[in-house]
Each structure stands twice: as C-alpha cells, then as structure tokens.
Structure 1
Amino acid sequence: MNNTRTRFSRWGLPILSVQQLVLLAALIALSFILGRVSITTQILRISFVFLASSLMGKWFGPIWTMLVMVLSDFVKVTFISGGTWSPVMAIGVALAGLIYGAFFYREPQDQKLSWLTIALAVLAITVLVNLVINTLAIMFLYSPHHSWSVFMGMLSPRLLKSVIFYPIQLVLTYWILNNRVVLDLSKRFFQYK
C-alpha cells in the first residue's frame, strides 16, 4: 500500500499540528487583508481573497477550508465591517470552501496542480457561487421583489465582471498554487507518513 491517503479520507477533518495551525491563522489574516483592498461598488465587489482561500483548499482540504471560510466571513462581517452576518450569504462561502478543497487538496502536498484542475475549480466557483448562489442571496436579502426578472437584472453586471475576472483569477490561482515557495511550504508542513 502506498503512502497517499484515499480520495475519500481527504473529506475528513484531520488534526492539525501547531505549525499547521499557525499557517492557517496566517492565511486567515491574509484573507482579511486581501478583503480590505477589494474594489467595491453597490452591485459588484472585486476581491483577491480567493488567493488565501485557494491556499487553504490546497493545504487543509474541503472541510477545514469550508469551516474556516465561514467562520472568517462571520468575524469579518460582524466585527470588522460592522454589518449583519447572513446565513444565506454563508451558503456561497461554504460551497466555495468545499470546492477549493475538493479540487486543490492533494497528497503528497507538493504535487503541482494542472491548468485543467484549476480552470474547473475557478469555473465552478464563478458560476455556482458567484453568479447563481450569491446573486440569489443578494436578491433575497436586498430586493423587495423576488422574481426571475429581478434575478436577471442583478445577474447582468455580475456576469460581465465574472467574464472579465475569470482569466485573471485563473492565472493568479495557478501562479499562487504552483510557485516554488508554496511547494516548499507544502513539503515542510504537510508531509504525511
């Protein structure tokens, strides 16, 4: 039997070492920082938080990534932004965490990810989370009318942003996940016996 875990076991919640917890805390802090430098309008928000989320997915798998992303979203919205946290919006955050972990988590951790894997993950998050779930959540939270025409009206500017931002997110995600520093950190902190 080889030293890699089965595909099913990656959906578990492994116990993290102290070094891994510190790395996870650094990624949470990075996501807060990247969230602060986002470009926000009334309808659209362009953020680079996906970089920290991608690294969480690569190193910690679907369940840890989902839990940490939802908790980080709660802390950010409630305590940093001063807003009201919405479980409806958290559905998209949770699904994004699952997608990042499902596509990017590999053992051994120092394995490079292919363009196809990253393209499919970014596409799934763009379509399912950003366009469908988040647009529905925004409609239910902020519009007094819930109809197909309202959804399509809210979707139009978000669709344009997604088409423009998809290749940028794809290239940046590929570069972050496959650069030498990340692969070296993977070898150092995530070698399983």
Structure 2
Amino acid sequence: MKKFVTLFTDSARELKSVRTITTMAMLAAVAVILGYFSIEYGQFIRIGFSGIPNGIVDYLFGPVAGAVFHGALDIIKYLMKPTGPFCPQLTLVVMLAGVLYGCFFYKKKLTIWRVLAAKFVVMLICNVILNTLCLQVLYGQAFMAILPMRALKNLIMWPIDSIVFFGIAKALEQIGLFRTFRKQELVKNA
C-alpha cells in the first residue's frame, strides 16, 4: 500500500519540475497534431493515434501528472476542434485513463504484456463502459444500441494500439530520449 501511495506522491512532485511541464507541453502539441489525423466513423467511433503522447507522459511522469495532462489536453483539443457538445464527464473519464496508465507504467519496466494489460483495463473501464455511458446521456442513444460497435472497435484497436505504443516507446527509450528523465530521477533519489 505504501508503494501505491508513493506512486501518487512522486508523480505529483513531478509537476513541480519545469522540465516536466515543458516536456508535457511539447507532447501536448504532438497529440493535438496527431488528433487532426484521426478517422471518425459517425459520432460514436474515432480512430487515431493521439494517445501515444499521452502514454509517454503517463510512463515518464506517473498517474497524477497523467491525469492533469489528459484532462487539460481533452479541453484544449475540444477548444481547437469541437466535435459535438462539451461533456465534462468525458473529461473525467479521460483523466481516469491517465491515472490507470500511470499506475501501470510509472517507474516500471515497459513490457509488451504490461502495455497490453494497461490498454485492456483502460479499454474496458474507460472506453467501453464509462465513455458509452457518457455518450448515452449526451446523445440520448440506448446504451445497448451503441455498446456493441464501440466494444468491437476497441477490441480490434486494443492489440494495434498496444503494439504501436510499445514500439514507439521502446524506440524512443533506445535512442536515449528518456534517459535525461531517468538521470534526473536518480539525482532526486540520491
């Protein structure tokens, strides 16, 4: 239990670093740009890769920073390219996803199995159940009418998103892009 609490306190402490904030700002810009290249199929299904920078923030800075990043980015994306009415409940669901990803990734070795597990948990809880509930309230559609196509889309995208995120994160780690954050972490803990 102490490790779990430490995970959140360390992540909250990350937000005090200028390096963290600037890195998050750069990744937010990348996420916004990637968001313009998403494919929308009706008002209930969107396929895109703007979640990759989100995952990197969760991996580098943890659940608290991830929740703040996901929430702020959701609002920024909506202001830049509104799609439908604004729904604060959807922003809270996105923030929950940041917390969940942060709990799976922060200060842990990134493996394909960890990424698959994290993506599955977020896919099931946030994308399929909670987002579908929010869309039901927002658009007045029957929950069971939109659930099957949303579940199918998420089931199809689960391994694809997992492999893409894992591959990009590992490549960035191998070229040493994350190393500066690791050194900073070691200095803080010494």
- TM-score, normalised by the number of residues in structure 1: 0.84
Match of 2:110 in 1: 113
| Distance (whole Å) between structure 1 residues aligned to residue 39 and residue 147 of structure 2 | 18
Distance 1:130 1:9, change over 3 A: same
For residues 145 and 82 of structure 2, what CA distance do their matches in structure 1 show? Answer: 27
Cα deviation 1:26-54 (Å, max 9, x = unaligned) = 11111111111100121211121221111
- Please state how far the C-alpha of 1:58 moved relative to its aligned partner: 0.6
> 1:177 Cα deviation (Å)?
2.2
Which structure 2 residue ranges, 5 or more long, are not aligned?
A: none
Is 2:66 the counterpart of 1:65? yes
2:130 counterpart letter in structure 1: I
Q: Indicate the SS of the match to 1:48.
A: coil
| 1:68 Cα deviation after fit | 1.4
Matched letter for residue 24 of structure 1? M
- After superposition, what is the alpha-carbon deviation per residue over 1:5-41, rounded to whole angstroms, capped at 9, x for unaligned? 9443220211443333221111111111111110012
Q: In the alignment, residue 135 of structure 2 is paired with which amino acid?
A: I
Counterpart residue number, 2:93: 92
The residue that corresponds to 2:46 in the other structure is 45
Does the residue aligned with 2:178 lie in a helix, a strand or coil?
Answer: helix
* Equivalent position amino acid for 2:117 in 1: L
Aligned mates of 1:48, 1:180 — CA distance in 2: 16
| Separation in structure 2 between the aligned mates of residue 78 and residue 26 of structure 1, nearest angstrom | 18
Paired residue secondary structure (1:26): helix
Q: Render the CA deviation track for 1:64-103: whole Å, top value 9, x for unaligned.
A: 1101111111121134327542111112101111011111
Contact 1:60 1:105 in 2 (8 A): yes
1:99-125 CA distance string (max 9 Å, x none): 11111111xxxx641222111100011
Q: CA RMSD, aligned part only? A: 2.1
Q: Which moved more, 1:130-139 or 1:175-184?
A: 175-184
Distance in 2, matches of 1:98 and 1:23, equals 18
**Unaligned ranges ≥5, structure 1:** none
User: Do the aligned residues in 1 keep the contact of 2:173 with 2:179 (CA within 8 Å)?
Assistant: no
For these two proteins, the number of residue pairs brought into alignment is: 180
Separation in structure 2 between the aligned mates of residue 46 and residue 19 of structure 1, nearest angstrom: 31
Is 1:123 matched up with 2:120?
A: yes
Contact kept, 8 Å, 1:77 with 1:83, in 2: the verdict is no
Moved more, 40-49 or 182-191: 182-191
In structure 2, C-alpha distance between the alignment counterparts of 1:89 and 1:137, rounded to whole Å: 6
- 1:141 pairs with one of 138, 163, 173: 138
TM-score by length of 2: 0.86
Higher relative contact order (CA 8 A, sep 6+): 1
